[in-house]
Amino acid sequence: MEYGTEGWTMMPAAETPLLHITEDPDRAWAEHGHHLLYEARTYASWQSGDIRSAVKSAATTVEELRAEGVYRMVTPEECVAQGLDSYVLHPLSGGMPVEEGWRSLRLFGERVVPELSA
């Protein structure tokens, strides 16, 4: 075994929301929430009692998904204020348009990261 057999496991934090950074969360949920719901439903479809993910949603509508808080569309300021241990971004979640994904990543890099390292 050229690379050995020892490995490691990363245990996600108890709270592991998937983040989308936006200037206008209400607009983003209205325009793109169905992409997040598609991803949430897809992940839920293969999870069972024996197979689980750190991110689990029982939502069946965009409104339920938003209220649940597993997927979050937040402003840069709201993102920083959450004080999370880790930040999980899914910029192309469930078929999210590429430009919307880039917009989220740019906001994270330009407005969130500087505040986290301050």
Q: Where are the domains of the chain?
A: 18-46+57-116
Q: Which of 45, 38, 40, 105 is nearest to 76 (CA)?
A: 105
Q: Is the pLDDT of residue 1 over 70?
A: no
* Strands, sheet with 71-74, edge to edge from the N-terminal-most edge strand: 71-74, 18-21, 88-89
Q: Looking at residue 8, what is its pLDDT?
A: 66
Q: Taking every pair of C-alpha atoms in the chain, what is the biggest distance, in angstroms?
A: 52
Q: Is the pLDDT of residue 10 over 90?
A: no
> Is the whole-model pTM more than 0.75?
yes
Q: Looking at residue 112, what is its pLDDT?
A: 97
pLDDT digits (tens, 9 = 90+) for 44-99: 888 877 766 667 889 999 999 999 999 999 999 999 999 888 899 989 999 999 99
pLDDT digits (tens, 9 = 90+) for 23-44: 999 999 999 999 999 999 998 8
